[in-house]
A and B are shown apart, each in its own frame.
Chain A
Amino acid sequence: MYLALLLRETYRTSAGVVANPMWLYVIRRILLAAPIAIGVTVICFALIYLAPGDPIQSLLPPEATQADVAYLKQVYGFDKPLPVQYLKWVSRATVGDFGTSIQTNRPVLGEVRRALSHTLIISIGAALLAFPLAIALGTLAAFYIGRPPDRIATMASVVGISVPNYWLGIVLIIVFAVELGVLPASGMGPQGSDDFSLTQWAQLKYAVLPVLTTALVPLGIIMRSTRAAMADVLSQDFIQTLRAKGLGQGAVVRHALRNALPQVLAVMGLQFGYLVGGSILTETIFNWPGTGFLMNKAILTRDIPMLQGALLVLALSFVSINLAVDLLQTAVDPRVKRG
């Protein structure tokens, strides 16, 4: 009943005034994200069973007896019907128990968390590098649309989007690690992945090349959407009004950016979501034990609990990032109906 009230478009206060407070909108959006999250769990669970192969088979030696197989199936719960397995998995997952990895015998959650923290170093680094640069370049291109600065920036972004990650990664390794010897080629440093410190250059330098490699694609994509959004805003009538008011170029850019921001935010959110998912290729090239790396290993070894857990965590972070972007958009754009 109270839920229905929350889900209503507007909200009538006791005074009879229709109010639409922000917090109510936030709660509504979060509630609307819940069905998506449930759908995500179903897909994560079901997807695994669409793929051929049996995890038990890969775990046991070929000469294992039928009884051994049955025993192991029972241990991992694979003998139950799928809906039962799903419900058990979900109910455990809600309290943070994603089961045990078949390969390492360690809790899935811990493994996923570790991998995610490694990937976040790369993805946050890439975002910090790519997002501001992309917005600056996109704005510049929009101001000089059709003229040399725009042509150069647009061409560079096409190259950035088109260059394969793994090729760029290898080229960077050859140039900076092999030829120049200024940066390490791969891994997370002498102290290993467990206490990776962002404040020590000796460790941080291992992240430089992966970050550069990862940043290129979002840089190109966000630059292009910023350019499109800004060009659209700059062609609108109110830009004339701003100039007629006597505002300088800086103030005009500020107004235009604020108008273009919701669109750019949406693209940035999506890109950040992809970054958090990790890149199998980049992480493999740089031997970086992140989420892409982890999932690749889980797929190759048919480590079903691991794969399900990792998929679910990543999918849910994707949903939450989108939710955050949505709320942010509403906060910066008064035109979005908070209904």
Chain B
Amino acid sequence: MSDPVSASAIPDRTTPLVAVRDLSVSFVSRDETVRAVNGVSFDVMPGEALCIIGESGSGKTVTMRSLMRLLPKHRSVIEGGISVAGNDIQALDERRLSQLRGSLMAMIFQEPMTALDPVYTIGEQIAEVVRRHTHATRPAAMARALELLQLVKVPSPERRLKAYPHELSGGMRQRAMIAIALACQPALLLADEPTTALDATVQIQVLILLRKLQKEFGMALIFVTHDLSVAAQIADRVAVMYAGRMVEQGSVREVLLNPRHPYTIGMLSSTLHGRVRGQDIETIPGSPPDLRALPPGCSFAPRCSRAIESCSAAVPAPIVLSPGHDVRCIRTQDQPAPFSPASTLAVS
């Protein structure tokens, strides 16, 4: 086993840990091609938390899985460049890739009910990843598993070590999942809607825990969610995805307080936070485009109230509004949005 890259091995905080360039993913079957991700580019600095926001089917999860090359090999076509800590993920051989998975980068999944192997104990599943990436003996790995369960604040960890997943609650399972992900102190943690399946009270606990551990370990975090208040809680930067494209990205403050893309604006105004009782919630008319037949130009144009003819001519290039805040909308310059819907969102 070669050296597992840990967070401490990358002291340089000026070069991005993750660099994704023009990533496109399509799922090919005999009858159709589904274009799930269409030219996504972003960077994540070491220790930074990026939140990818978007509705179901916008390509958030697919983007995440391609970072770890977890998509089905023979059915997906991945184009573009993905680099994590200098490793070209696309070009790695299976052996090297599996060495990096779990040690350099780890992933937490949406459904804690199904993401753990039902016939192995929690302890066995944590110890397994420890043993995979270090030379730890079985008892040493189990001791480390206990430490990790304490770290993620699982009550009576000694007992949980011997428990099977079905004997734990959803929140506890997600904590165990986090323990597995953190076992080898990865430099990059990918979290795919890790709180969506949890009860509201448990959600906030898990979120706070994640944020705390991320700061403690100096991990970079990519957090996928469709919940804006979750994004406000955890993110340094936010990227908004729509129909497989990133329509707007910037610092959490910029994007939530000064959104410029019509889709971001629409999404923010359809949240419930701070609304006056009785006032109607604004919704975005229409529905997302069919990923098998994307409209030409801006994918949001058919639903956009500000769309003009040239919106459908070509995919808009990113317009840099301020360093780190860019928008893919050709109408941005024409009409600066006076809208500030998120003033009541708690932006940390």
Q: Which residues of A contact B (CB under 8 A)?
A: 147, 236-238, 240-248, 251, 255, 258-259, 332-335
Contacts and interface: CB of A to CB of B under 8 A. Distances in A.
A293 B87 CA distance: 68
A247 B68 contact: no
A140 B86 CA distance: 35
A207 to B, nearest CB: 37
Given A255-B120, A335-B164, A237 B101 contact: no
A238 B103 CA distance: 18
Interface stretch (B31-39, B126-134, B137-145, B317-325): B126-134
B109 interface: yes
Contact of B115 (A240, A247, A255, A334): A240
18 contacts: A238-B114, A238-B115, A241-B107, A241-B117, A243-B101, A244-B68, A244-B101, A244-B107, A245-B128, A246-B101, A246-B133, A247-B128, A247-B129, A248-B95, A259-B118, A332-B119, A333-B119, A334-B166
Contact of B99 (A237, A240, A246, A259): A246
B106 A244 contact: yes
A241 B116 CA distance: 7
Interface residues of B, number: 31
Contact of B114 (A237, A245, A247, A255): A237
A246 B102 CA distance: 5
A244 B102 contact: yes
A243 B180 CA distance: 12
A258 B128 contact: no
A263 to B, nearest CB: 12
Nearest to A237: B114
Given A237-B109, A246-B103, 13 more contacts: A237-B111, A241-B117, A243-B70, A243-B101, A244-B102, A244-B107, A245-B129, A245-B180, A246-B99, A247-B129, A333-B119, A334-B118, A335-B166
A123 B132 CA distance: 41
A311 B128 CA distance: 49
Contacts of B98: 243, 246-248
A4 B303 CA distance: 68
Interface centre among B68, B116, B119, B177, by most chain A C-beta atoms within 10 angstroms, is B119
Interface centre among A255, A258, A334, by most chain B C-beta atoms within 10 angstroms, is A334
A39 B270 CA distance: 67
Contacts of B180: 241, 245
A118 to B, nearest CB: 38
B117 A255 contact: yes
A63 to B, nearest CB: 71
Nearest to A240: B70
A10 to B, nearest CB: 15
Contacts of B107: 241, 244
Contacts of B166: 334-335
B109 A258 contact: no
Given A237-B114, A241-B180, A335 B101 contact: no
Nearest to A238: B117
Contact of B132 (A236, A246, A259): A246
A219 to B, nearest CB: 26
Interface centre among A241, A242, A334, by most chain B C-beta atoms within 10 angstroms, is A241
Given A245-B180, A246-B103, A246-B133, A238 B128 contact: no
Contacts of B111: 237
Contacts of A247: 98, 102, 128-129, 132
A255 B98 CA distance: 16
Contacts of B74: 147
A1 B5 CA distance: 64
Interface centre among A236, A242, A258, A335, by most chain B C-beta atoms within 10 angstroms, is A242
B164 A334 contact: yes
Nearest to A249: B94
A236 B117 CA distance: 9
A246 B4 CA distance: 11
Contact of A245 (B65, B121, B132, B164): B132
A332 B120 CA distance: 10
